[in-house]
């Protein structure tokens, strides 16, 4: 089976290693010509996960038409901000029936669309689209460290197709029909992870971080509930699973961004030093706007946005969060309906 992997950052490289290791014919598209050339010459990505050796059945190209030629399935692994423009570049070279799964996690600024909604807007045919989300740090997946994930699709056959494509001895794949919930989890948890990193950078302890993670999960679930998501999705791999990994791991870009800012850095300086995008820096804006549109209170998201983009004081954030009016722990989460 020929699978096109669109995006050659850390996650795209890890996915190519994983799927290539299963014997699939992988065509990897890299926006940067030097990455495509480096992989072709050395079997390694010269910018991301440099120690990962890609199998010979992974071919790299900076020409998206070449990458998509003959593809029976497409895996999109670009930053969320680039999903629309990349999909537009794909459209002339992609059949209207080719299944596409997006691994990008975010809500599009302006339209407030989820990533599968962006793909539907550009490519049409919602029934062939899927999203993948879970506690899946590329650094660990690419080393064969046991991991698991969730595929969400509107059509069960599409979910099962990608389940078969990704399932491997060290990568277990589950399906979930709750596309909205799985995708919102992926976008929202990045914002909470930035807050967790800020807590680390300020020298707070386990109690603080556990509180941020737990109340962050409640915040995520309230928004999902309003959008029609299944509350149980937030208890699964895409929800609490990914939240734990992103808030605690040394590999987490979003946690790292929060710690960096707490120690005096900025979003720009973090991206300059790491050469990577922390999705939470964008999602705190778009998820916050989605919360406003839906009439859902997102206090942690509001504080992260204020600190990262509006000149808000990190020192004032704890009081702003801790001083809020007391409420029932599970308000707005829809758990009484389960």
At residue 336, does pLDDT exceed 60? no
DSSP per-residue letters across 196-233: HHHHHHTT--HHHHHHHHHHHHHHHHHHHHHTT--GGG
Q: What is the mean pLDDT of residues 320-329?
A: 78
Q: Are 129 and 153 in contact (CB under 8 A)?
A: yes
Predicted confidence (pLDDT) at residue 105 exceeds the cutoff of 90: yes
Q: Does domain 184-337 have CATH number 1.10.1040.10?
A: yes
Closest CA to 19 of 96, 72, 65: 72
Single out the residue of 172, 165, 118 nearest to residue 150, CA to CA: 172
Query: What pLDDT was estimated at residue 338?
Result: 38
Calculated CA dihedral for residues 122, 124, 127, 131, nearest 10 degrees: 0
* Mean pLDDT (whole number) for 28-50: 96
Ranges of CATH 1.10.1040.10 domains, the chain: 184-337
pLDDT reading at 337 higher than 60: no
For residue range 57-102, list pLDDT tens digits in order: 999 999 999 999 999 999 999 999 999 999 999 999 999 999 999 9
Nearest-angstrom CA–CA distance, 61 and 59: 7
User: Chain centroid to CA 13: how far?
Assistant: 15
Rounded to an integer, the average pLDDT of 249-269 is: 94
Instruction: Output the pLDDT for position 326.
Output: 73
Q: Which alpha helices (DSSP H) does 91-227 contain, by range?
A: 115-123, 138-141, 156-166, 179-201, 206-226
Q: Which residues are catalytic?
A: 189
pTM of the entire predicted model:
0.93
Min mean pLDDT across 29-38, 116-125, 329-338 is at: 329-338
Domain 2-177 is classified in which CATH homologous superfamily? NAD(P)-binding Rossmann-like Domain (3.40.50.720)
Tell me which of 274 and 65 has the higher pLDDT.
65
> What is the rounded CA–CA span in Å between residue 18 and residue 55?
9
The model's confidence at residue 189, banded by pLDDT at 50, 70 and 90, is very high
pLDDT for the residue 318 = 80
What confidence score (pLDDT) does residue 125 get? 93
Q: pLDDT above 90 covers what percent of the chain?
A: 90
Query: CATH 3.40.50.720 in the chain, residues?
Result: 2-177
Rounded to the nearest 10°, the torsion over CA 192, 198, 199, 202 is -170
- pLDDT band, residue 334 (cuts 50/70/90): low
Q: Which of the four pLDDT bands, split at 50, 70 and 90, describes residue 52? A: very high
From CA 106, how far away is CA 29, in angstroms rounded? 21
Strands (E) across the chain are located at: 2-6, 25-29, 58-61, 73-76, 100-102, 129-133, 147-153, 171-176
3-state secondary structure of 107: strand
Looking at the predicted structure, is the pLDDT value of residue 335 above 70?
A: no
Average pLDDT, the chain: 95
């Amino acid at each position: 089976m020929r699978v096109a992997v669109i995006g050659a950052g850390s996650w795209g490289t890890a996915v190519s290693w994983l799927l290539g290791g299963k014997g699939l014919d992988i065509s990897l598209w890299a926006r940067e010509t030097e990455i495509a050339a480096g992989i072709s010459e050395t079997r390694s990505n010269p910018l991301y996960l440099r120690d990962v050796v890609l199998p010979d059945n992974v071919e790299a190209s900076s020409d998206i038409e070449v990458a998509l030629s003959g593809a029976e399935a497409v895996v999109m692994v670009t930053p969320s901000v680039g999903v629309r423009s990349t999909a537009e570049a794909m459209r002339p070279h992609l059949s209207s029936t080719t299944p596409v799964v997006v691994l990008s996690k975010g809500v599009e600024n302006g339209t407030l669309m989820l990533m599968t909604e962006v793909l539907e807007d550009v490519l049409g045919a919602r029934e062939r689209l899927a999203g993948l989300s879970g506690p899946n740090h590329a650094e660990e997946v690419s080393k064969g460290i046991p991991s698991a994930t969730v595929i969400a699709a509107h059509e069960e056959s599409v979910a099962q197709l990608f389940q078969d494509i990704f399932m491997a001895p060290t990568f277990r794949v589950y399906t979930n029909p709750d596309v909205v919930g799985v995708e919102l989890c992926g976008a929202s948890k990045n914002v909470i992870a930035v807050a967790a990193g800020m807590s680390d950078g300020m020298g707070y302890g386990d109690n603080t971080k556990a509180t941020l993670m737990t109340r962050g999960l409640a915040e995520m679930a309230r928004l999902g509930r309003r959008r029609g998501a299944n509350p149980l999705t937030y208890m699964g791999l895409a929800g609490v699973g990914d939240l734990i990994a992103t808030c605690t791991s040394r590999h987490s870009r979003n946690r790292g961004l929060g710690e960096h800012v707490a120690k005096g850095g900025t979003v720009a300086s973090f991206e300059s030093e790491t050469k990577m995008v922390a999705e939470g820096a964008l999602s705190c804006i778009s998820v916050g706007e989605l919360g406003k549109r839906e009439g859902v209170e997102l206090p942690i998201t509001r504080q992260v946005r204020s600190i990262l983009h509006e000149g808000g004081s990190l020192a004032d954030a704890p009081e702003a969060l801790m001083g809020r009016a007391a409420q029932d722990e599970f308000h707005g989460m829809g758990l009484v309906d389960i």
